[in-house]
Amino acid sequence: MQQVNKWPSGLVNKPLRYCPGCGHGIVHRIVGECLEELGIRERTVGIAPVGCSVFADEYFNCDMIQGPHGRGPAIATGIKRSKPECIVFSYQGDGDLASIGMAETVHSAARSENITVIFINNAIYGMTGGQMAPTTLIGQQASTCPRGRTVQANGYPIRVCELLAQLEGARYLERTSTHTAAHVIKAKKAIRQAFQNQIDGKGFSLVEVLSICPTNWGLTPLQSLKFVTEKMMPMYPLGVFRTPDAAAGAATEGGAA
């Protein structure tokens, strides 16, 4: 009999403690599979952020370091420059990467550090209990904008891929999602490419993953998946924004009509 599914060696074989319906589990599994399939697990160092995925250091089956809020790309820089033979990835949420850590994100991309950044965008602060994120949508409620985010009070959400696409050093930028099985497969392809780029010495790669947070969105998992297509994707269109070989790409799915 042929085995069609198994626990990937890139993940520690233990239950994840994320909330029911949380998107982290899917992306963790994708990363774990990539580490195995690319044969890089034993030379990979991962960086866990501050946020829900602070526990990622327990889950990924490779050397891990947990760092200060938002500083993943700086830590990755220190590791990669000290051990260029290692594969280094930083796993970050939206508050971590696009708010407190924006400077580190932009500058590590500008320097084109040969690292891989996995960016989970769920438009909310999860760990601290549902506060507004830099990617929270206009009108979306959060515990620090209980009447919904307004432009007047909170300004506009940030599109990270589009922002970074302005930088020559950002060599690979793709926004993906995990709201359908087909999208999960696409997300895996993107994340695998982001690791392959590093193996090939192509420079800074970032994959943004639209992810659901039923707990803090106050929605069921099914409603949450709908929220991704109806609310998030118009603001955050999926697609490849930069590749090592071509300059800026274009959105292929979603976006405001």
Partner 1 sequence: MGEKILMKGNEALAEGAIRAGCRFFSGYPITPQNEVPEYMSWRLPDEGGTFIQAESEVAAINMIYGAAATGIRAMTSSSSPGISLKQEGISYCAGADLPFFYANVVRGGPGLGNIAAAQGDYNQSVRGGGHGDYRVIVMAPNSVDEMGNFPKLCFELAEKYRMPAMVLADGILGQMMEPIEFKFERVDPAKLPAKDWALGNSAGRAKRVVKSYDLREGELEKINLRRMAAYRKIEQDEVRFEAKNCEGADLVVVAYGTSSRIAAGAIKLARDKGLKVGLFRPITLWPFPKKQLAGLAGKAKKLLVVEMSMGQFVDDVRLAVNGAIAVDLYARPAGIPSAEEVMAEIEKACQGIKAAPAATAAAPKQRGRPKGSKNKKTKAKRTVRKRAARKQAKRGRKGGRR
Sites of contact with partner 1 (CB under 8 A): 12, 41-43, 45, 47-48, 54, 57-58, 61-68, 71, 74-83, 85-86, 103-104, 106-107
* Residues 45/60, Cβ–Cβ less than 8 Å: no
Q: Hey, which residues does 117 pair with through a beta bridge?
A: 90, 206
Q: How far is the CB of 197 from partner 1 (least distance, A)?
A: 20
CA distance 215 to 130: 8
Nearer to partner 1, 45 or 118 (CB): 45
- For partner 1, give the closer residue by CB, 50 or 133: 50
| CA-based nearest residue to 33, from 149, 187, 167 | 187
Nearer CB in complex with partner 1: 66/154 = 66
In the complex, the smallest distance separating the C-beta of residue 16 from partner 1, rounded to whole angstroms, is 15
Provide the strand spans (E) within the chain. 44-48, 63-66, 87-93, 116-121, 170-177, 204-210, 238-242, 251-253
Of 64 and 199, nearer to partner 1 (C-beta) is 64
Q: How many CB atoms lie within 10 A of CB 153?
A: 10
Q: Please, which residue, 47 or 238, has the CB nearer to partner 1?
A: 47
The number of helices, as runs of H, and strands, as runs of E, in the chain is 11, 8
Closest separation in Å from C-beta 133 to partner 1: 20
Question: Least distance (Å) from partner 1 to the CB of residue 196?
Answer: 20
* Residues 148/140, Cβ–Cβ less than 8 Å: yes
Q: To the nearest whole angstrom, how small is the minimum distance from the Cβ of residue 97 to partner 1?
A: 14
